[in-house]
């Protein structure tokens, strides 16, 4: 049930350095966090700013911000240019989360009630819309070259469009019985992969290397696919902090495990679709356990894990001539694979490098 009480004011963000000589920041990520909070609260803290601040206070990996910082460092940009771009990417991602929770009916994220569960659907729409607009405000910040601002705004708008279309495609997969890898790949390329390529393409645009942006950000889009694949696995076999195992099954979401299993065991299609079409309340723990067992026995789980490691190897090959960006990719791969450590004997693959990446760019992710 929605909580009609006013939310607590958003906590203050980390201290940040300003043109007027305020408290210096310890890290670029803290400066990004501070800018995000200032943008969310606006010139004065109102109810919507407090709601958005409440969502931001639940934490999160800040992967898109870290990726932007790492990519900017890799192409030699000063931190002043990286901070607003990193904030813009992270804000856009959080807009997608607020709307995604509402559309999926999720009541828990990061161990906390979701925005719509706390404040109702209308205010969740408002919060997501505000987060969707703030990335463009972030671009009007000291540090970004004036000539880069319009190309960055265009990149933000285009990838926001791609993300929304991908989300729509995912929601339509079950209803349209599009339960195959092609439709899954199309949905994930939009809803997840685009926001992994965006931080890198933007860094290249700021650095004056717009001609290289599509080519060098493409491997990071593939790593976005890798991230979604591991997220699908962790949802069913691990713990994503969403309050229950198998939330994707309960929501009727067509995951990589679903499409891979049906390609191997089409005889299970009727039963699996029946489970996915049930309401969350009518989907039992036994239903979830049955699906998990079938995916493992059919080899679907191993196939998805194999695909994850194949994507990692391909990204490494494509970035071999760009060692600084490769270091950023290595760190992203390591972070993406870490949640799979609960699968002993399956989490590692011969294609993984044993050495930890080094260098400032990699450490920023």
* Domain CATH number, residue 273: 1.10.600.10
State the chain's maximal CA–CA distance in angstroms: 67
For residue range 49-82, list pLDDT tens digits in order: 999 999 999 888 899 999 999 999 999 999 999 9
Phi, psi dihedrals of residue 18, rounded to the nearest 5°:
-125, 175
Phi, psi dihedrals of residue 112, rounded to the nearest 5°:
-130, 155
11 is a domain residue: no
Q: What total of structural domains would you count in the chain?
A: 1
What is residue 346's predicted lDDT score, i.e. its pLDDT? 62
Range of the domain at 153: 28-342+356-364
Given a cut of 70, whether residue 365 has pLDDT beyond it is: no
Among 85, 48, 47, CA closest to 67: 85
What is residue 59's predicted lDDT score, i.e. its pLDDT? 85
3 is a domain residue: no
Mean pLDDT for 118-141 is 95
Give the DSSP per-residue string, 178-196: --SHHHHHHHHIIIIIHHH
133 is a domain residue: yes
Q: Is the dihedral of CA 240, 242, 243, 244 positive or negative?
A: negative
Contacts of 356 (CB under 8 A, 6+ apart): 334
What is residue 17's predicted lDDT score, i.e. its pLDDT? 41
Cα 107 from Cα 288, distance rounded (Å)? 18
Helix (H/G/I), strand (E/B), else coil: 18? coil
12 is a domain residue: no
162 is a domain residue: yes
Cα 39 from Cα 34, distance rounded (Å)? 9
93 is a domain residue: yes
Written as six digits, the tokens of 326 are: 């490769």
115 is a domain residue: yes
Return the minimum-mean-pLDDT range out of 30-44, 301-315, 348-362: 348-362
For the chain, the residue count is 365
For residue range 203-224, list pLDDT tens digits in order: 999 999 999 999 999 999 999 9
């Amino acid at each position: 049930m929605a909580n009609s009480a006013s939310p607590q004011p958003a906590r203050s963000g980390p201290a940040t350095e300003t043109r007027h000589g305020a408290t210096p920041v310890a890290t670029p990520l803290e400066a990004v966090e501070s800018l995000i909070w200032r943008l969310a609260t606006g010139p004065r803290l109102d109810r919507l700013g407090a709601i958005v601040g409440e969502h931001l206070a639940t934490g999160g990996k800040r992967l898109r911000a870290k990726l932007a910082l790492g990519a900017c460092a890799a192409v030699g940009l000063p931190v002043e240019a990286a901070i607003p771009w990193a904030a813009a990417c992270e804000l856009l991602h959080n807009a997608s989360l607020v709307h995604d929770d509402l559309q999926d009916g999720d009541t828990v994220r990061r161990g906390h009630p979701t925005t719509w569960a706390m404040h109702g659907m209308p205010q969740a729409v408002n919060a997501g819309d505000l987060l969707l607009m703030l990335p463009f405000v972030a671009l009007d910040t000291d540090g970004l070259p004036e000539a880069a601002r319009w190309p960055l705004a265009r990149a933000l708008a285009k990838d926001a469009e791609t993300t929304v279309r991908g989300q729509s495609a995912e929601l339509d997969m079950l209803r349209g019985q599009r339960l195959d890898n092609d439709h899954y790949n199309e949905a994930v390329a939009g809803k997840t992969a685009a926001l992994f390529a965006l931080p890198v393409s933007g860094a290249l645009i700021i650095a004056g290397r717009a001609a290289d942006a599509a080519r060098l950000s493409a491997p990071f889009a593939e790593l976005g696919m890798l991230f979604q694949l591991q997220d699908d696995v962790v949802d069913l076999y691990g713990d994503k902090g969403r309050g229950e195992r198998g939330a994707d099954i309960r929501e009727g979401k067509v995951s990589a495990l679903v499409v891979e299993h049906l390609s191997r065991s089409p005889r299970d299609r009727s039963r699996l679709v029946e489970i996915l079409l049930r309401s969350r309340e009518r989907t039992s723990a036994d239903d979830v356990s049955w699906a998990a067992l079938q995916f493992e026995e059919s080899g679907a789980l191993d196939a998805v894990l194999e695909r994850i490691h194949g994507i990692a190897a391909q990204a490494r090959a494509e970035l071999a001539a760009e060692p600084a960006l490769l270091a950023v990719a290595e760190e992203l791969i390591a972070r993406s694979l870490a949640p799979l450590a609960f699968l002993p004997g399956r989490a590692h693959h011969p294609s993984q490098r044993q050495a930890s990446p080094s260098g400032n760019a990699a450490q920023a992710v």
